[in-house]
Amino acid sequence: MKKIFVLIFIALISCDLPQDPGPMPTEIIQSEYIPGLNIFGVLRNDGIPGTSFFRVERSWETEEATMEFVVTVENATITIASDSSAWDFTFTIDSLHGEIYANPDFSPDKQVQYQLIANAPGLPELTGEVTVPAIPMVDTSSILIENNVFQVSIAGQAEIEMYDIVVISDYNSITQRYLSNGDTLIAEVNLSNLIGEPVGLAIYAYETNLTQYQTSTMTIKPQTYHEAVNTVMGGYGCFGAVSVFTLPIN
C-alpha cells in the first residue's frame, strides 16, 4: 500500500494543472535588434490605375517612441518590377490612405509575379514578391436573395486563398469572409443587419501573403509565442495583392 501511494504522489506532482505556468525556459536567448524598413504594400487588381499603394515606415524600439519620433519614411525608393517592366512609386499624401507611396499610372496584370525593391538611407534593402490573382469569376446568374440571405457562385481559382464578399446598400454594408481551397465557392451573406435594399456587390480575392496577414492572430496569449507576420526579406511587413470584382445590384 505504501509503494502505491508513493507512485500516485509522484505521478500527481509531475503533471501540469491548467493553472500552472507550464515548462519554464532553461536559458535566456538574446536577439539583436536590427533596424529596417517596415512596409505594408498592396497591389490592387481592380481595373483602375493608381490604386496600388505602399505605406513605408522604419522599425523602432520601445524607448524610441517619443513625441519627436517620426516613423514614416518619406525619402525611400520604391520600385516594382516584372519580367518586362519596372515602375517607381513616389511619396504622396492621399485623402484615403494618408502618407503613402503611389504610382498613378500603375495597374497590375493578373497572374503576373512582381518583385518589390525598397531602399532608404541607412537601412538595409527590403525585397519581396507576389503573384497577382485574377479578378474573381462570378456567375451572375447564380445571384439569389431569399429569406434575407444573399447567395452567389464564384468559380474556383488556385491562386486565391481567401474571399471577402461584401453586399452594399445605400446606408451600410455586410461582409462575409471565406477561405478558399481552389474549388467553386457558393457564398452566402446574411442580410439581417443590412439597412435598406442591396444596391451593389464587391468581392475581394486575396493571395497567400495578404491572407496570412489578415488571418494571423495578433493577440498575445500566456505560454505562447507568436512571430509577427512577415512576407518580405531584409526588413519587416507585408507585400501582397488583391483582386476586386464589383457589380451593381438592381
- The pLDDT score that the predictor gives to residue 164 is 98
pLDDT at residue 96 in the model: 84
Handedness of CA 245, 246, 249, 250 (dihedral sign): negative
Q: Which residue has the cell 493577440?
A: 219
* Predicted TM-score (pTM) of this structure: 0.81
Q: Is 19 within the bounds of a domain? A: no
pLDDT digits (tens, 9 = 90+) for 37-53: 999 999 999 999 999 99
CATH code for the domain in which residue 45 is found: 2.60.40
Instruction: Identify the DSSP state of 63.
Output: G
Neighbouring CB atoms inside 10 A of 143's CB total 15
Question: If you ran DSSP here, which 8-state letter would residue 64 be given?
Answer: G
20 compared with 98, residue with greater pLDDT: 98
Whether residues 118 and 231 fall in one domain: yes
pLDDT confidence of residue 67: 56
Q: Are residues 59 and 119 in the same domain?
A: yes
For the chain, percent of residues with pLDDT exceeding 70: 78
| Number of domains observed in the structure of the chain | 2
Whether residues 129 and 147 share a domain: the answer is no
d(Cα 116, Cα 86) in Å, to the nearest integer? 10
Residues 125, 46 share a domain? yes
Question: What is the Cβ-side half-sphere exposure of residue 87, based on CA atoms within 13 angstroms?
Answer: 19
